[in-house]
């Protein structure tokens, strides 16, 4: 499965079995250097051996890659949406008016 196919399936309403977090979910890091900090899920990177997520830490948007077992839910979402773009297609960027 390509990264595009993985993220497309992840963003569908039915999601992926065994994957606990969705795009824009806010999670708490359970251990390590960033233990106790809240991060935003921005990517699902792998399913095996367990779901692996790309998360960002506010305020500087530091990017971390963490397994599902190192995250816990905060019960909230940042409220963002994601639009999957086909490979090779650039996103439409709105110009300021």
Task: For 53-85, write each residue's pLDDT tens digit.
Answer: 999 998 888 999 999 999 999 887 766 666 666
Distances from the Cα of 4 to the Cα of 11, 38, 43, 65, angstroms: 11, 26, 11, 18
Long-range contacts of 57-66 (CB under 8 A, 24+ apart): 64/29, 64/34, 64/39, 66/29, 66/39
91 has pLDDT over 80: no
Stated pTM of the model: 0.76
> pLDDT above 90 covers what percent of the chain?
47
Structure tokens at 8: 């497309």
pLDDT band at 93 (very low <50, low <70, confident <90, very high): low
Could you give all domains of the chain from N- to C-terminal order, each with its CATH number?
A: 3-77 (2.30.30.30)
């Amino acid at each position: 499965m390509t990264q595009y196919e993985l993220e497309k399936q992840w963003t569908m309403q039915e999601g992926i079995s065994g994957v606990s977090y969705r795009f824009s979910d806010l999670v708490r890091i359970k251990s390590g250097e960033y233990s106790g900090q809240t991060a935003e899920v921005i990517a699902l990177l792998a399913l095996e051996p367990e779901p692996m997520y790309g998360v960002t830490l506010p305020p500087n948007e530091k990017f971390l890659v963490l397994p599902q077992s190192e995250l816990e839910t905060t019960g909230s979402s940042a409220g963002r949406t994601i639009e999957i773009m086909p490979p090779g297609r650039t996103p439409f960027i709105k110009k300021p008016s």
